[in-house]
Structure 1
């Protein structure tokens, strides 16, 4: 067994002391190699956690003498001549990142994501691990790992240890609900007053809906670890039998706006227990923590989960139809705000998560696996329902992924997913994949057609912003400065403006929170615009076309003329009245 010990001397420094103790067999011929993960599952980019490590020491546990070691890479250490010894590896870890994938230490709590701070021994990742925590009197631990003693947790492998975050605090609140005899515990750390009756009712409803979809649950218990923060925040990360959710501001938790976010992220992360933690791409069986794990199916892992995260809240009755459409419209807006949808496919965007998938990036380069992935999942679900008269749906594809791959611990490939979709549809679905997964075909027409079968339509509305509608650019006001942030390709703004221009005047009139009204003054849509560009004052001519509109808004709405058959299809899809 490999033993880990965590303590802290002064929480004001944010440094946690980590100690790792293990025996090296006398038959070991080569040097011991210690690896710190370079990334974490759930965020597919290198994060180089070793930059948080301070003062690594290696000791002989019996003699307490320091042993030499050599750093081989940015996050790999080599200990020579270790055969027959019991080694102690000590180092400090800087826990000062409060988000759902981070770690945090202060006087009130220890929040630890093990994937950031625990090294593993190359070749021994499958050995059992024990984690002991030195905590003040009265502190409680929230974690998905079983406790074998006071402040002592057990893991069957490094993978389980790294995938089991914990919160230790004297102020944790918790309640447990059961579905199909399995316990689900909601932990809350933060200064808030939860309405436990409402939370447990809604969480039970969407959990029941998810378990009915899959017909079983991958683990024997589940833990929602919630950091409810005193400031605005939103983030969630999935784990084997738990999730960490960071959300705020705390005093607004039970208000409609923030509680809606709480439900959405919780339902999304629970769905991940099947989709990515159990139903895992073949490229991640097992995880390689030392380097990129490229895979082309993140549109399934994140896109399908984004679709189901909101859809199942409506299907379980937790969300109203109107609330669901609001969330769906948000996804539509984010997708259609991004002209990268013309330049990168979903499959390639999945690979490019490792490149720049979590950053804004250069303009119009990429598409979101979350937003387009969710819309493509919606299109597929409605198409399968239409082709089979609601006899089969995307539910069947996900259930078969669970039964044929997740339950067996076998990784699936993109070809496996295409095969299951085709078999569920009962017809060749290659055109769907070629257009919307491996290509960049527009979604508007096929989505509108699919939605019409359930009595809905994809409605196109004009934006109320003059700069967006007539000229194709967006601005933001920063410190009373009006700056250009986005320019639509092939719009009038592309010939005169550039991103980061500061607009100071229109036709000689100063711009001061009044850009839209100034751009509405001339019927011929021709203006002299003064801008500071790289601190140089320029005047350019901006000219629009009266009969041309840019940056339209797309929303989902019910058809006022929906037939009885369409309304019945709507009820079968959402389990709610039309």
Structure 2
């Protein structure tokens, strides 16, 4: 119908050209430039000219439907079939005879191949008359479209990534979930593609949805009515950088300084609420504000998906993904287990969230040109994962210990855990691994950014403080560099380390050569020694213990219970006993970790213990003399018996100053 009207208008317009002088663009430019057409020396000779001008305006508007300077996507969340969503795209005007349409192979912030194109079905390219254009699938992610200058519309169906075990399963925070009427986790890079050469044009996403679903995202959302949203993004990189949650609304916001933080939660069984999570995050957000002296962003979105661990595909060995998060510049998306034991839930949320939130420092405000102009198909990877992930992970722990969210003991326990994890991956160049992370050999070492990378950052912080007599530290160097570069000014990847040396101290170059570019083993004893802590690869410790046993959270009793209990234990503990107190100290959800380590795991003081338990509804007191043995501690890390004043001062400046 629209096509017939256009053809009629063309014939009428040609018939009246004798009556007007007009500057005319070639036909294929008309729709793109209609808003800029200039009519020159129009002399109206009859009333028909007024009608003609009206017809021209209709012609141009109608043509613009098929030729525009932006992407207009439509996604139907109301009529989902087999976890697939129908996608339609009104394409921007294409000049070339042939063009390539791409879905991402790789995305920023996730350092492995994803190949989102393999989740696309029934891909079609159409002209303005609805005729199919010839397409050829080039690889998993790309389609070549012939006669592309006639391209008006693309349609396809998109599958989600979460449901089916696969050896190449996409880690959930980078994937998508489609549950009709319940939730849609819309990582935009997993739903929408782009035309090569046209990815800097704006994007408009028109969403049809159930009235019960609400969009949580950093993207601009025009909520047209209860069942229609329009999302907009300035270009494809920005679209891909801002995920969207669609689900029943459970949102909370908190103000921190002049910034506002939004928390959105989807909990599979309803256990976890956004108000609960906001209570966990508020102290952490205040700690980060103190660390930054204010936030570098006006708003930030935390998007949490809490899955029932009974059904989650979270075991990579069985073709699943895993729990965790993916950072974005103004938001972060989390896939985490529902946990009834609240202290565990709180510590998990805080640990993961603090890391992701700190990415507003780097890479948001300090990043390579290779990230700024990211190639979603054949990216050249930045050398500086040690910065983006390693420094961020270290700062996440440092912020918490400085603000009392972690104890000194917990901080160093976390560092010891990282030493153990890093040991399994060996010694290697962090910059080489980062630059070649998409290769299988180096992809296996990617996890090192969170352990070896964080340990390098700790050592680098100590090194800078020492070399500058405390005038500078790692945070100051990073903040100074963010002021030099910032969100809109990337650094040159090959020049950054030289810039880092200039901003810190000349001797930092040797540190970089040894431990960031180089492959030298990290000198833990030397650096932890500066803080008054002893490090030893192995150390035997005399301990007292009750026998083999563990703990679990009894959801029915809402209490801590003993499990996997050796019958020959020293205290007469039985399977399922509820743990009430030890040495007259009540056991709570908040102190159980400290109590367990002090009296059961690393007890070098108490030769006997008295505990209270509840067994089959009855309280019992259990006492006994403990066994004595030798515990061999791998990568021992503990406070020195008599640290010097210098060591104490250095430690205090690091974790308290």
Native 8 Å contact 2:89 2:155 kept in 1: yes
Cα separation, partners in 2 of 1:565 and 1:337, compared to 1, 3 Å: same
Tell me which residue corresponds to 1:263. Answer: 350
In the aligned structure 1, how far is the partner of 2:220 from the partner of 2:284?
25
In the aligned structure 2, how far is the partner of 1:336 from the partner of 1:276?
27
Tell me which residue corresponds to 1:153. Answer: 231
Cα separation, partners in 2 of 1:89 and 1:357, compared to 1, 3 Å: farther
In the aligned structure 2, how far is the partner of 1:286 from the partner of 1:154?
20
Tell me which residue corresponds to 2:89. Answer: 20
Native 8 Å contact 1:32 1:80 kept in 2: yes
User: Does residue 251 in structure 1 map to residue 339 in structure 2?
Assistant: yes
Root mean square deviation of aligned Cα: 2.6
Tell me which residue corresponds to 1:553. Answer: 634
* Larger relative contact order (Cα-Cα within 8 Å, sequence gap ≥ 6): 1
In the aligned structure 2, how far is the partner of 1:210 from the partner of 1:82?
50
Tell me which residue corresponds to 1:534. Answer: none
Structure 1: 5+ residue stretches without partners: 465-550
In the aligned structure 2, how far is the partner of 1:387 from the partner of 1:241?
35
Q: How high is the TM-score relative to the length of structure 2?
A: 0.67
User: Does residue 352 in structure 1 map to residue 449 in structure 2?
Assistant: no
Deviates more, 1:305-314 or 1:567-576: 567-576
User: Does residue 131 in structure 1 map to residue 212 in structure 2?
Assistant: no
Native 8 Å contact 1:292 1:354 kept in 2: no
Native 8 Å contact 2:261 2:299 kept in 1: yes
Q: How high is the TM-score relative to the length of structure 1?
A: 0.76
In the aligned structure 1, how far is the partner of 2:130 from the partner of 2:78?
21
Structure 2: 5+ residue stretches without partners: 1-69, 164-171, 315-321, 542-631
Tell me which residue corresponds to 2:110. Answer: 43
CA distances 1:333-359 after superposition (whole Å, capped 9, x unpaired): 101233x32xx3212111232113786
Tell me which residue corresponds to 1:515. Answer: none
CA distances 1:493-542 after superposition (whole Å, capped 9, x unpaired): xxxxxxxxxxxxxxxxxxxxxxxxxxxxxxxxxxxxxxxxxxxxxxxxxx
SS at match of 2:354: helix
In the aligned structure 2, how far is the partner of 1:115 from the partner of 1:440?
35
Q: Shift of residue 214 of structure 1?
A: 4.4
Native 8 Å contact 1:20 1:90 kept in 2: yes
Tell me which residue corresponds to 1:330. Answer: 417
- From 278, 281, 284, the equivalent of 1:203 is 281
- From 515, 518, 521, the equivalent of 1:442 is 521
Q: Shift of residue 124 of structure 1?
A: 1.8
Structure with greater Cα Rg:
2
In the aligned structure 2, how far is the partner of 1:316 from the partner of 1:128?
42
Q: Shift of residue 66 of structure 1?
A: 2.3
Deviates more, 1:37-46 or 1:217-226: 217-226
CA distances 1:179-233 after superposition (whole Å, capped 9, x unpaired): 2211111111103444767743552333344345445544331101001111175
Native 8 Å contact 1:279 1:412 kept in 2: no
Tell me which residue corresponds to 1:486. Answer: none
Native 8 Å contact 1:297 1:414 kept in 2: no
Tell me which residue corresponds to 1:89. Answer: 154
**1:401-412 pair list within 5 angstroms:** 401-412=481-492
CA distances 1:360-400 after superposition (whole Å, capped 9, x unpaired): 58xxxx98233211111110001112222332100012112
Tell me which residue corresponds to 2:75. Answer: 6
User: Does residue 273 in structure 1 map to residue 341 in structure 2?
Assistant: no
Tell me which residue corresponds to 1:122. Answer: 196
Cα separation, partners in 2 of 1:463 and 1:78, compared to 1, 3 Å: farther
Cα separation, partners in 2 of 1:13 and 1:96, compared to 1, 3 Å: farther
In the aligned structure 1, how far is the partner of 2:440 from the partner of 2:122?
31
